[in-house]
Amino acid sequence: MSQELEVILSREKIEQRVAELAEEISRDYREHPPLLICVLKGAVIFLSDLMRFLKIPVEVDFMAVSSYGSATASSGVVRILKDLDQSIQGRDVLIVEDIVDTGLTLNYLRENLASRQPRSLKVVTLLDKPSRRKVPFDPDYCGFTIPDRFVVGYGLDFNEQYRQLPDICVLHNEG
Ligand code: IMP
């Protein structure tokens, strides 16, 4: 079976939208510089582009989570593979995620981090697939709303492949 890639969001379009998100975030957080929490691995490219457009000082930490089951069918059980290096108590925390699909991962993460008593807790996601939700979840900032298609590139993978693509593409399985 061969796989074909169809670009649905070009690198230029992504860059422009990431710059707009950074403007908005810089404005909202100018009084209280945030701690950015990047969810590994898919959000690393988004994080690194986003933070270079920000006009406020930020700190960064990383978390790795995994849902049991296959990558294309989230099971809803979330496991923390790597936790934060520091306490977030009293901090203004902004979770940086690549994509919200069923909402299960971020729903869990937001509850988990909220229990650590940050001063504020928001979520920025580059992509949102609202038609796939299993639990209600509204990101505070969102780059693009996309239809129910499996996408790769710009950090997003299929079986750990395609993360390095500069554009976001739909993966078509050909006969
Ligand atoms: P959720 O818990 O179903 O919202 O899934 C979130 C995670 O599933 C994301 O952080 C991605 O790692 C993965 N995921 C969901 N949809 C896609 C996709 O279209 N391409 C690549 N990964 C995806």
Delimit the domains of the chain by residue range: 12-147
Distance CA 39, CA 81 (A): 11
Residue nearest to atom 5 of ligand 1 (CA): 101
Closest ligand 1 atom, CA of 76? 2
Pocket test residue of 9, 68, 96, 98 for ligand 1, highest count of atoms within 8 A of CB = 98
Sheet containing 35-40: which strands, arranged edge to edge?
78-82, 59-67, 35-40, 92-100, 120-128, 141-145
Specify whether the CB–CB gap between 101 and 149 falls below 8 A.
no
Ligand 1 atom closest to Cα of 134?
Answer: 3
Cβ distance 86 to 75 under 8 Å? no
The tens-digit pLDDT sequence of the chain (175 residues) is 677 999 999 999 999 999 999 999 999 999 999 999 999 999 999 999 999 999 999 999 999 998 765 544 555 678 999 999 999 999 999 999 999 999 999 999 999 999 999 999 999 999 999 999 999 999 999 999 999 999 999 999 999 999 999 999 999 877 5
> pLDDT tens digits, residue range 15-34?
999 999 999 999 999 999 99
Report yes or no on whether pTM surpasses 0.85.
yes
Decide: 156 in ligand 1 pocket, CB within 6 A: yes
* Residue identifier of the C-alpha nearest atom 3 of ligand 1: 102
**What angle, rounded to 10 degrees, do the helices at 44-53 and 11-28 form?**
60
Q: Which two tokens stand for residue 68?
A: 């049991």
Identify each DSSP E strand in the chain by its residue range. Answer: 2-9, 35-40, 59-67, 78-82, 92-100, 120-128, 141-145, 151-152, 168-174
Residue 144 in contact with ligand 1 by CB distance below 6 A: no
Q: For the chain, what percentages of helix, strand and coil (3-state, to nearest 5) are there?
A: 25, 35, 40
Q: How far is CA 124 from CA 1, 6, 57, 153, in A?
A: 35, 25, 17, 18
Distance 151 CA to ligand 1 centre (A): 9
C-beta separation of 92 from 57 below 8 A? no
Q: Is 139 helix (H, G, I), strand (E, B) or coil?
A: coil
- Active-site annotation holds for 148: no
CATH class of the domain whose range is 12-147: alpha beta
Catalytic residue, chosen from 101, 128, 138, 148, is: 101
Decide: 125 in ligand 1 pocket, CB within 6 A. no
99 alpha carbon – ligand 1 mean position (Å): 6
